[in-house]
Amino acid sequence: MRHHDLVVIGAGTGNALIDDRFAHLDVAVVSAGPFGGTCLNAGCIPSKMLSVTAEVADGVRESGRHDVRASLAGISWPDVQERVFGRLDADAREGEKGRRASDFVTVYRGRARFTGERELAVETEDGTQELSADRIVVVAGGHPVVPPVVADAGLPYETSDTVMRLDAVPERLVVLGGGYIAAELAHVFHSAGSHVTVVEQRDSLLAEQDESIAQAFTDIVRSDYDLRLGRELTGVAGAPGDLRLTLDDDTVLRADTLLVAVGRRPNSDRLALDRAGITCDDDGLIEVDAHLRTSAPGVWALGDITAGPPLKHVANREAEVVAHNLLHPDDPRTMTYDVVPSAVFTRPQIAQVGLTERQAREQGRAYAVGSRRYEDVAYGWSLEDRQGFCKVLADRDTGLLLGAHVFGPQAATLIQPLVLAMTFGLTAREIAERPLWIHPALTEVVENALRDLDTAG
């Protein structure tokens, strides 16, 4: 059994955790998939590169509203694939190559499972390698959920792990799911030329967003997609390339491609965590304390396999905390999730931080709402945008921000001043009145939403 000072399971954020500060240790990185993890290979980065491509195409199609006479000849999907994955696959290979060249890191390519307390078996191409370590960090991520009605049908389907690498754009694409992954990929393929049908059990898309956002987004995409809301998939039949999808109202949809985007599940079920004494919750998420330690001595966990928000920027911060705690056990840092922003890179773009209005009501908060539309500010006129808006919620007594929601171009950027205000405890009045806001920048929609609040603070 090979012994290491430290073993990291996962080569996404887990690989990024290791830097030259660990050069005095004997470190191992274990990964079943390519280096870079989901974000680089099948998640955040390729989906955003494809989203920008779709945005460019959409801009050409809609150029007439700016009195520009332009026409779109089409999207060259093979060239897009080469540009996106030619770069990302090379990055993944270089990431692994760099680790293998390290003087203090050993790379094991294979699936790991615990066999005991801080003991592992790694199934590699050359057989089973047994490892032990003084300390272990579990950063093993997750995988797409596939409902039994799809999995048991024996017919082809795609998930977010595979659909972006299709050789050709589907002619008829059915998207099962209405969350952020479904929304982003539906936008990409609709823009590339697919006829898109979305099947979602809830009555709106992006139902976890603020109700104003969810309703506005659902209303806007009705003209682009065939929406089947409040519906459930009950049967999958037909043949590859000619699927027949039955819904619970007996409607039958025809499609050449089915994309399943109903959520993700942690990879904890593949690790035999019970043999190591690592406790999980009912959803299979590893339970950790504020220092990101598991119930097993000497074992930490972070990323999508834990109960924190499943976002790459959250995992990056968690990795910073764990790295510090491994190196400075007598001065540990804690991980907090008080202010966590997120964004959906669809059309329109969406960003949020903090409470939704529904959550504020359910918590019995005394809150005020401020809102401004893009078309209320000069740069919104420049964009000819009549859909976008910024909505902010603040405590009516203190003036402190409770939540913020932006819907429209540049939303993921516009949310950041509000993230900073919530992080540093600035009131809505302070953030609106103390800094100078550039005129006529789009940030004025944020400033004016803040000024629209009626609070005492």
Q: Looking at residue 112, what is its pLDDT?
A: 98
Query: What are 146-187's pLDDT values in tens digits?
Result: 999 999 999 999 999 999 999 999 999 999 999 999 999 999
Q: Tell which of 262, 279, 312 closes a domain.
A: 262
The answer on pLDDT for 456 being more than 80 is: no
Domain stops at, among 219, 245, 262: 262
Same domain membership, residue 13 and residue 103: yes
Say what the pTM is. 0.96
Position 273 confidence tier, pLDDT thresholds 50, 70, 90? very high
Range of the structural domain that residue 420 is part of: 348-451
Regarding whether 7 and 70 lie in a shared domain, the answer is yes
CB-based burial of residue 167 (10 Å sphere; 0-12 exposed, 13-18 middle, 19+ buried)? exposed
Is the pLDDT confidence value at 348 over 80?
yes
On the question of pLDDT at 455 being above 90, the answer is: no
How sure is the predictor about 260, in pLDDT bands with cuts at 50, 70 and 90? very high
Is 231 contained in some domain?
yes
Question: Could you give the CA distance from residue 183 to residue 198 in angstroms, rounded to a whole number?
Answer: 9
Q: How confident is the model at residue 135 (pLDDT cuts 50, 70, 90)?
A: very high
Output the domain CATH number for residue 68. 3.50.50.60
For range 106-111, the mean pLDDT: 97
Whether 286 and 202 have beta carbons less than 8 Å apart is answered as: no
The number of distinct structural domains making up the chain is 3
Q: Which two tokens stand for residue 205?
A: 């898309």
187 is catalytic: no
Q: Could you read off the pLDDT of 19-37 as tens digits, one per residue?
A: 999 999 999 999 999 999 9
| Domain shared by 441 and 394, yes or no | yes
At 435 the pLDDT is 97
**pLDDT for 310:** 96
**18 with 51, same domain?**
yes
Among residues 211, 244, 262, which one ends one of the domains?
262
Q: Are residues 127 and 40 in the same domain?
A: yes
Burial of 5 (0-12, 13-18, 19+ CB in 10 A): middle
- The pLDDT of residue 335 is 98
Tell me, what's the pLDDT at 74?
A: 94
Contact in structure between 393 and 403 (CB atoms under 8 Å): yes
Other Cβ atoms closer than 10 A to 293: 17
pLDDT of residue 454: 86
Q: Is there a single domain that holds both residue 197 and residue 270?
A: no
